Amino acid sequence: MCDQTFLAITFGPCDSCSENRPLMNLYIKTEPINYCSLCMEIMACQGLASGETLKSLKAESETLRKKLEEERKKLHDVELEKVAEKAEALGELNMKTRRTLKGHGNKVLCMDWCKDKRRIVSSSQDGKVIVWDAFTTNKEHAVTMPTTWVMACAYAPSGCAIACGGLDNKCSVYPLSLDKDENLAAKKKSVAMHTNYLSGCTFTNSDMQILTSSGDGTSALWDVESGQLLQSFHGHSADVLTLDLAPSETGNTFVSGGSDKKANVWDLRSGQNVQSFDTHDSDINCVKYYPSGDAFASASDDSTCRLFDLRADREVSIYSKDSIMFGAASVDFSLSGRLLFAGYNDYTINVWDVLKGTRVAILFGHENRVSSLRVSPDGTAFCSGSWDNTLRIWA
């Protein structure tokens, strides 16, 4: 009764039902609203209803998530480390720096191996991208990008081109010519366009397609020749920092990790997020598939590396130590998947036994953060790039 009687100061057409009625003058978030009392009632009820809907949706979402966690837990009947006790212990590992590649003028941010197992492309903060024959340590090609902080680079499967990008928000492909004097920059092809920095790029089994990840929260698949966007992948709620393609011949998936602490598995064809893992406490800097493609490892700023299995749909192992306080920047597996090499922001590389969960070696040598680390295609060595401007080959 009381809310029907009010002092009507104005009389005129209602904003909502357009009929001439006494109007209630209300300000919602500094916006004046002139509704008649009936429309005001309706609006209030709807507001309550939507609040209710939001609350019930939130509750439903929470219940489902808890249920999912329970289901995952139910199948966790044993720890990986326990089962791994019967695995043979690793012998003494004697890894040393076998080559040091000097030539970058500033921090090395990314590197990739060529399929010929000896060439490497690396990119740096000063905008230079260099192709090396790591075996002889000779520089074979050098490109100067028109941007600093080239955070991503990749070698094409044919060995005839490289892709790179960074703060320019683009991914560019440079065909590598045999003629040393030819200006590589002239043949540059801009392929990907994002709205924020490019954090990672990789060719998908052929020179014709590139998969990119960006600070704008998306990943995308591009056709190199036309620059056309073939598929985009949305789902991260913050920057996507890393991606890795599944190694299978029949596989059509890739995994990405982001600043939202999530690692998502995507279907290349449909663009759908098929699986998601969010047990990390901070940004995921790097993700890499286990050689069989059934699992992947991640490196994070929370100073841990973790192993997630796709069939068990959960985190199955965590590689951490109290004395390791700095974030892990990059990881890769050895060929058999038994060893996990991880480069950290405390300038070291730790080698973990994937099955038993223990650290088997710590490698010193770099004088600043290790920013990227990859094992060579035949597993004979791995290369680490660092903020100390050098790359090191370890075997």
Per CB under 8 A, contacts with another protein among 140-159 are 149, 151
Choosing from 164, 171, 354, 363, the residue that interacts with another protein (CB under 8 A) is 354
Shortest Cβ 122–another protein spacing (Å) = 17
Choosing from 18, 223, 232, 318, the residue that interacts with another protein (CB under 8 A) is 223
The whole-angstrom separation of Cα 110 and Cα 167 is: 14
Choosing from 263, 286, 381, 391, the residue that interacts with another protein (CB under 8 A) is 381
Contact track, another protein, 177-196, x by CB under 8 A:
--------------------
Burial class of residue 323 in the structure, from the number of CB atoms within 10 Å of its CB (0-12 exposed, 13-18 middle, 19+ buried): exposed
The whole-angstrom separation of Cα 319 and Cα 353 is: 9
Choosing from 259, 330, 372, 389, the residue that interacts with another protein (CB under 8 A) is 259
Does the protein bind another protein through residue 276 (CB under 8 A)? yes
- Partnered with residue 315 across adjacent β-strands are 308
How many Cβ atoms sit within 10 Å of the Cβ of residue 154? 25
Give residue 39's Cα distance to chain centre: 49
The whole-angstrom separation of Cα 311 and Cα 276 is: 12
- Binding to another protein (CB under 8 A) within 78-137 occurs at 78-80, 83-84, 86-87, 90-91, 93, 95, 98-99, 117-118, 135
Choosing from 17, 26, 68, 318, the residue that interacts with another protein (CB under 8 A) is 68
Cα–Cα separations (whole angstroms), residue 27 to 23, 31, 33, 195, 388: 13, 5, 6, 37, 59
Nearest partner of 151 among 178, 170, 174, judged by Cα: 170
Choosing from 18, 50, 195, 232, the residue that interacts with another protein (CB under 8 A) is 50
Stretch that binds another protein, among 28-36, 40-48, 178-186, 301-309 (CB under 8 A): 301-309
Stretch that binds another protein, among 26-34, 70-78, 138-146, 171-179 (CB under 8 A): 70-78
